Structure 1
Amino acid sequence: MYYLVYGVLYGLSLLPMWLLYGFSDGIAFLLYAVIRYRRGVVLSNLVIAFPEKTDAERLRIAKRFYRNFTDNFIETLKLLSAGPDFLERRLVIDNPELLDYYYDQGRKLHAHLGHLFNWEIGNAAIPRLTRYPFLVAYMPVENKVFERLFLHLRSRTGSIPLPATRLQRAILPYRNQQYILALVADQAPGGPENSYWLNFFGRPTPFVRGPERGARIADIPAIFVRFYKVRRGHYRAELITIAEHPGVLPEGELTRRYCRLLEDAIRRQPDSWLWSHKRWKFGWNPELQPFWIDDEKNTPTT
């Protein structure tokens, strides 16, 4: 079954981008207007994030999001057959000297990402743009065919995928060498109690603790990677130091900084974040007070 699925998808990936983007436009229209895939979730999230905008403004963001959403998958499909020249044209790092700065110091590096389009192009392109081995934490999928397919896709250009569910064990072979560990840190945590809570777009929101804990324990520099879209299919990445020495920060500070950088990136290009994700599925209640890390003046009262 794997080879059948791979063969079909690989054949599709050989199509020219103008034709693939035509498919993307059609699929985006179907998802938004006909199937209405998670449309309620998308619009609800946009109301939470942008209460100051009109319904018409939020609808425009939603429509652009659906096209970016399907473009993300079409561009990922293209990566099955794309060569180095394709990647060189599709992603440029604004300030690669930041990677050289930490590498020349002999330090490891944690890259904290968000679900900003197109993170899969970033995964494929970055190994060619740095001297670091590029480790990527990923969430395994239950379907064995697609698990194998995504592992192939994410490793064919040099990335080293590590399962987030077994990350501490999977990273052991690399513990004595320099590396970048990429962590997509904006996903909803597994439970509200095992989280840091702080305001995100003005709403109490849980964030996973793992990315901060790993950086603080080993005092590994943490950077934020802001992917942003220049034009269709072409992206840039701005690298921003979150903390050069996380080990000296008080608990929660690294997550606070990451949260503010992520929110700023989303506000700059609001249609380029994964709004179909149920990011606010956990509500705040006073029993979660011990996990609140935001400024005291912003502590929820209900």
Structure 2
Amino acid sequence: MYYLLYGTLYLFSLLPMRVLYIFCDLIYVILYYITGYRKQVVMKNLSIAFPEKSEAEKVAIAKKFYKNFIDNFIEAIKMLSAGKSFAQKRFSGNFEIFDEIQSQGKSAHLFLGHFFNWEVGGAALEHYSPLHMLIVYMPIKSQAMERLFIRLRQLSGAGLIPATPMSAFTRGYIAERKRPYMLALLGDQSPGGVEKAYWLNFFNRATPFVTGPEKSARSANMPAVFGYPTKEKRGQYTLHFEMIEENPRSVEEGELTRRYVKILERLITENPELWMWTHKRWKADWKSEYKELWIGEDVPVVRPKAY
């Protein structure tokens, strides 16, 4: 199954980008207008995040989102034949922040969100940064898809570390950290165990966040950096990096996550069409027994069940 999938997508990736973008537009029509792929989830999420926006404004955001969502994966597939040079030509950014970290003999912890295009952006970052990129990923249930995405992510030369099980994460992390590196973690989606998560208000609703990114940065006391892309035009992006904290152990527990969420919310508000809205981000409800997990600066905002 894997070889059939890989062979088909490889042949597809040989097409010029102008032709692939025509396919993107056709897929957009199918997903948005015909099948309505997760459209109810997307619109519900937009209503939670932007209650002040009109229905027409939310629909406009949703349409742009679906176009970016499809571009995200087609651009990643293009790398199967175009290689990492495809990513290098399409991304620029303030990569000098990593030059300074590397000059101090340090590694970095990279806090990320599901902003488009994170797949191609990772390949560009591995090329432009002096720090070796280590990508922590969630294994995919489909073995064929798992092998495909591993192959895609390995094209850049980045190290891949499975997030689960913990034994696999530990082995991968120890094996890969032989030179200055940046450990990249996506921390904006719903955690598996909300009873062990950090809780704080996110778009004015009590929301759980994974603890791994903060705990890892504090444990190693390595600079915590937030990275995100903006889309200049179709197929052209700029990567931006902001220092969250140079010495994570110098701040109280929860502070890195608080800063991360503030930046994340600001960026989603500024460029909502670039964030992954198909995920049920607010499916977990706040419970009073989670009070010791609350790290927000204000009281929990409890809303009716989201989905």
Q: Pick the TM interval, shorter chain.
A: over 0.9
Q: Compared with structure 1, are the counterparts of its residues 299 and 204 closer, same or farther at alpha carbon in structure 2 (3 Å cutoff)?
A: closer
Other-structure match for 1:213:
215
Alignment match, 1:298: 299
Match of 2:140 in 1: 141
For residues 228 and 13 of structure 1, what CA distance do their matches in structure 2 show? Answer: 24
**Structure 1 residues 144-194: Cα deviation after superposition (integer angstroms, max 9, x where no partner):** 111111111100121111101132231012345321111111121002111
Distance apart, 1:24 and its partner CA: 0.8
Aligned to 2:70: 70
What is the aligned partner in structure 2 of residue 230 from structure 1? 232
Alignment correspondent of 1:158: 157
User: How do 1:57-206 residues align onto structure 2 when only pairs under 5 Å count?
Assistant: 57-93=57-93, 95-165=94-164, 166-206=168-208
Distance in 1 (alpha carbons) for counterparts of 2:14 and 2:56 = 38
- TM superposition shift of 1:284: 1.2
Q: What SS is found at the alignment partner of 2:244?
A: strand
**Consecutive unaligned residues in structure 2, runs of 5 or more:** none
Partner of 1:50: 50
For residues 48 and 137 of structure 1, the distance between their equivalents in structure 2, rounded to whole angstroms, comes to: 29
Q: How does 1:242-281 map to 2 (within 5 A)?
A: 242-281=244-283
Asked if the contact 2:91–2:238 (Cα under 8 Å) also holds between the matched residues in 1, the reply is yes
- State how 1:284-295 maps to structure 2 within 5 Å: 284-295=286-297
Counting matched residue pairs gives 300
Kindly provide the amino acid, as one letter, of the partner of residue 104 in structure 1: S
Q: Aligned equivalents of 1:226 and 1:83: distance in 2?
A: 22
CA distance in 2, matches of 1:188, 1:79: 29
Secondary structure, aligned partner of 2:196:
coil
Once residues 124 and 85 of structure 1 are traced to their aligned partners in structure 2, the CA distance between those partners, rounded to angstroms, is 9
How well do the aligned residues superpose, as a CA RMSD in angstroms? 1.3
In the TM superposition, residue 298 of structure 1 has moved relative to its aligned partner by 3.1
Output the amino acid matched with 2:121.
Answer: G
Query: What is the deviation of 1:14?
Result: 0.5
Residue-by-residue CA offset, 1:249-302 (whole Å, 9 max, x unaligned): 10100000000111111111111100001111101121211111001x333478
Normalised TM-score (structure 1): 0.96
CA distance in 2, matches of 1:190, 1:57: 32
Distance 1:88 1:209 in 2: 32
Partner Cα separation in structure 2 for residue 260 and residue 77 of structure 1:
32
Aligned partners of 2:205 and 2:301 also within 8 Å: no
Asked if the contact 1:102/1:109 (under 8 Å) is kept, the reply is yes
C-alpha displacement of 1:103: 0.3
Runs of 4 or more, structure 1, over 4 Å off, are: none
- Aligned residue identity for 1:218: A
What is the distance in 1 between the residues matched to 2:65 and 2:288?
Answer: 34
Task: Determine helix, strand or coil for the equivalent of 1:146.
Answer: helix
Note the C-alpha offset of 1:142: 1.6
Query: For 1:85 and 1:148, how far apart are their aligned partners in 2?
Result: 21
- 229 and 292 in structure 1: CA distance in 2 versus 1, 3 angstrom threshold: same
Give the Cα separation in 2 of the matches to 1:112 and 1:54: 32
Q: Is contact 2:258-2:296 (8 Å) kept?
A: yes
Output the CA distance in 2 between the equivalents of 1:234 and 1:39. Answer: 26
Query: Is this contact kept in 2: 1:286–1:301, CA < 8 A?
Result: no
Three-state SS of the structure 2 residue aligned to 1:79 is: helix
What code does the residue aligned with 1:9 have? L
Give the 3-state SS of the residue equivalent to 1:107 in structure 2. coil
Q: Give deviations 1:95-151, integer Å, cap 9, x for gaps.
A: 111100000101110111000000001111111101211110011112211111111
Select the residue among 282, 285, 295 that pairs with 2:284.
282
> What secondary structure, in the 3-state scheme, does the structure 2 residue paired with 1:193 have?
helix
Q: How far does the alpha carbon of each residue in 1:25-55 deviate from its partner, in whole angstroms, 9 at most, with x for none?
A: 1111211111111111000000000011101
Residue aligned with 1:236, SS: strand
Partners of 1:241 and 1:284 in 2: CA distance: 30
8 A Cα contact 2:206 2:302, kept in partner: no
Counterpart Cα distance in 2 of 1:112 and 1:168: 19
Letter in 2 for 1:290: E
Q: Which amino acid aligns with 1:19?
A: V
* Percentage identity across paired residues of the two chains: 48
